[in-house]
Structure 1
Amino acid sequence: MTTNIGLIFDFDDTLAPDSTTQLLEQHGISPEEFWFTEFQSRVREGYDPTVAYLSLLLEKVGEDQPLGELTIEDLEAFGTDLTETLYPGVPGLFDDINAIADEYEDITIDYYILSEGLEPIIQGTEIAERCEAVYASQLDANAEGIIQHIQRPISFTDKTRYLYEINKGITPAEARENPYEVNTQVAPEERRTPFENMIYIGDGITDIPCFSLVKDRGGRVFGVIDSDDEGAEGSAKQRAIRDIGSPRRAGNLNKPMYGESGRLGSLLRLTIEGVCTDRTIDELEAL
């Protein structure tokens, strides 16, 4: 019987510096003004944080607006350029993990990205094609192709829904056809990726519910912090979110160094080796 191991990554401030901030900077918009003034003000008015930042972005789209007549294709092209800003060792990590799994029989590694960020940007990066699915916030365009509406926001609590979709083996296409499919009862032995076979990697700001769910059900979690000092302030987005009440709470915080010599990269490779070994031993003992 095949064992599926799921590696699930947040994207912003986990695999790359915050992509929304980079988009703002490219168009001459101050990230500090966006996150600390506009975003925080909207959240305090009662907006969901994800809806707050997405609606602010949409207000900056248009002929006379700083983001211009932005299209989905523009965001994907921006994501292609963003590949250069991926944290050290990210592309090679996938190959190394696949090589480890290939040493064992009936072990499959599935990769996922689960992010509040913009899906077209993430889809434009080279790592998206390595993933079974990318779950991220979506925007809709008008008849002229200019983005105009929020189609699907993914907040920090929404993320847990997609963990259950991964757990039950529900594909994004199936979920689009029936958004309530995730509520269908599935026997434990029929679930594609058991929670104990999940490894979740996130920055610890918007990933707390996912950390808790995966860890409580026997999976493994890794927190990421892009700083030499775990007490450092972090990105403008992270600081703005903490300002409105969200803690950075994740055990095992690591710098985003995904190469073999980086602590996080080394830990992930060792963890995959351990999971593969454990599952193989379990199957042998069951014979």
Structure 2
Amino acid sequence: MEQSRKRKAKENKPVLAICYDFDKTLSPDDMQAQGYIQSVYKEDVASFWQESNKLAEDNEMDTNLAYMFMMVREARGKIVLTKESLQKYGSEVKLFPGVDTWFKRIKDYGKKNGVIVEHYIISSGLKEMIEGTEVAKEGSFEKIYASSFMFDDRNVPIWPAQVINYTNKTQFLFRIEKGILDVNDSGVNDFFAPEDIRVPFRNIVYIGDSDTDIPCMKLVNSYGGHSIGVFNNDTFDKTKVHKMLHDKRIKYYAPADYTENSQLDHLIKAIINKTVANELLEEIHYKCKEEQNSCDNDKIDQENKRKKLDLIVSLNGSCSFSTTHTIIKELSEIKVDLWEQDEINTLLQIALENNQVRYILNDLDVKFFYKQVIKQLNKPNENSKSIKQLFESNGEQK
């Protein structure tokens, strides 16, 4: 049975969701290579990744499962591997300049301009290590989607709980879009009308550094959002971001410098400013659509009323059983809940007064129609009671 899960409701202000890869996006290197691998592996970091990738290839294994397996295997007899120790290694992970103040600063800028800014991590790295960073402990992230372990009662990892690779990263964008953040909540597959979407893709920013981010970048771009490639300002190697821009994976690129007044800082603030204007236009658009739909519905209502009136007049003037059957067929095509009380009463009156209707009340089509409209009466009246008696007098039991 589907459990009741906490979901984020649509706000009365626009929400901008900024989603980040972690390694080489917020941090200059892979998180595992900033202390953990060195403490458990006999060779250098590059050899660890080579062995991990070979393990994956030899066993047709997900590369993330391979590195998680090796982390556990290599720790045996060397360190006590627990959730706490992973978080401690995470606390030692270096971050790019300005990351420590970035999340609050951007959130505050959004608030000042009437935009709710939320920060999300979508990473193939380890959730436990990310949770150990100072920015995570400060509550900077609305949600961290990352590979993670299942732990026993001693907090020792015993099985992968979640594995995030470059293709399944995209599912989390849809969760963020709909406000359905729980990874086990199947409500993410539910239909939402565009105006009910909590964070439309046009208000999603994805920041990443490499090919593993391409599915998310492409998805965000294709739905009108903002994909940003970052590069290390120390190496100033723009090869990857140039390729991603050329291949239309990203809209912008900037150095991974998160300090105030940096290029990235100005870019995100410009996106926030654009969000304010966009959402105002969208609000006007939906109001126009609402008015148009209302007018369309009024027009349909008028057409239905005209059609019903014409058929009622025709039924009242029916001079043959054949004509009555034809009119009843057309009357039956009108949704029964569209009949108003006065219209139903008129139909009942006709059935009692026009012999071309009264004498065939127990014909299947006529009886079915009248039984349906009688059900729509707020309360029985003399006409409906008389018609029911006519049904019963022709052999129908109560």
Class of the TM-score when normalised by the shorter of the 2 chains? 0.7 to 0.9
Q: Find the counterpart in structure 2 of residue 239 from structure 1.
A: none
Cα-to-partner distance string for 1:190-230 (whole Å, 9 max, x where unaligned): 22111110010011231110001000000001012223122
Separation in structure 2 between the aligned mates of residue 277 and residue 13 of structure 1, nearest angstrom? 32
Cα-to-partner distance string for 1:244-269 (whole Å, 9 max, x where unaligned): xxx9x656333210113432222222
Are 1:53 and 2:83 counterparts?
A: no
Verify the 8 A CA contact 1:58 1:149 in the aligned structure 2: no
Match 1:130 to one of 136, 140, 144? 140
Verify the 8 A CA contact 1:96 1:269 in the aligned structure 2: no
Verify the 8 A CA contact 1:101 1:276 in the aligned structure 2: no
Q: Find the counterpart in structure 1 of residue 56 from structure 2.
A: 43
Separation in structure 2 between the aligned mates of residue 76 and residue 39 of structure 1, nearest angstrom? 22
Give the 3-state SS of the residue equivalent to 1:260 in structure 2.
coil
Match 1:161 to one of 171, 174, 181? 171
Verify the 8 A CA contact 1:136 1:153 in the aligned structure 2: yes
Verify the 8 A CA contact 2:111 2:117 in the aligned structure 1: no
Q: Aligned partner of 1:19: which letter?
A: M
Cα-to-partner distance string for 1:117-174 (whole Å, 9 max, x where unaligned): 11011112232211111111111223433223211111111110111111110123xx
- Listed as ranges, the matches of 1:27-176 within 5 Å are 27=39, 29=41, 30-36=44-50, 38-45=51-58, 46-62=60-76, 64=77, 66=78, 68-82=79-93, 85-105=94-114, 107-128=115-136, 129-172=139-182, 175-176=183-184
Q: How many residues align?
A: 261
Q: Find the counterpart in structure 2 of residue 259 from structure 1.
A: 259
Which structure has the larger Rg over C-alpha atoms? 2
Structure 2, unaligned runs of 5 or more: 1-11, 241-246, 288-398
Separation in structure 2 between the aligned mates of residue 286 and residue 150 of structure 1, nearest angstrom? 44
1:219 and 1:250, CA in 2 relative to 1: closer, same or farther beyond 3 A?
closer
Q: Per-residue deviation at 1:281?
A: 4.7
Q: Per-residue deviation at 1:231?
A: 3.3
Verify the 8 A CA contact 2:21 2:121 in the aligned structure 1: yes
Separation in structure 2 between the aligned mates of residue 250 and residue 4 of structure 1, nearest angstrom? 21
Over aligned residues, Cα RMSD in angstroms? 2.3
Separation in structure 1 between the aligned mates of residue 147 and residue 227 of structure 2, nearest angstrom? 23
- Greater percentage in helix: 2
Q: Find the counterpart in structure 2 of residue 183 from structure 1.
A: 189
Q: Find the counterpart in structure 1 of residue 229 from structure 2.
A: 223
Over the matched positions of the two proteins, sequence identity in percent amounts to 31
Verify the 8 A CA contact 1:61 1:147 in the aligned structure 2: no
Are 1:24 and 2:36 counterparts?
A: yes
Structure 1, unaligned runs of 5 or more: 233-246
1:96 and 1:166, CA in 2 relative to 1: closer, same or farther beyond 3 A?
same
Q: TM-score, normalised by structure 1?
A: 0.83
1:147 and 1:61, CA in 2 relative to 1: closer, same or farther beyond 3 A?
farther
Separation in structure 2 between the aligned mates of residue 201 and residue 213 of structure 1, nearest angstrom? 13
Verify the 8 A CA contact 1:12 1:19 in the aligned structure 2: yes
Q: TM-score, normalised by structure 2?
A: 0.61
Verify the 8 A CA contact 1:97 1:272 in the aligned structure 2: no
Q: Aligned partner of 1:72: which letter?
A: K
Separation in structure 2 between the aligned mates of residue 54 and residue 189 of structure 1, nearest angstrom? 41
Cα-to-partner distance string for 1:96-120 (whole Å, 9 max, x where unaligned): 3223222334x21111111111101
Q: Find the counterpart in structure 2 of residue 198 from structure 1.
A: 204
Q: Aligned partner of 1:27: which letter?
A: S
Separation in structure 2 between the aligned mates of residue 73 and residue 219 of structure 1, nearest angstrom? 37
Separation in structure 2 between the aligned mates of residue 184 and residue 103 of structure 1, nearest angstrom? 33
Q: Which has the higher contact order (CA 8 A, sep 6+)?
A: 1
- Greater percentage in strand: 1
Q: Aligned partner of 2:22: which letter?
A: F
Q: Per-residue deviation at 1:42?
A: 2.0
Verify the 8 A CA contact 2:26 2:99 in the aligned structure 1: yes
Q: Aligned partner of 2:277: which letter?
A: T
Are 1:272 and 2:233 counterparts?
A: no
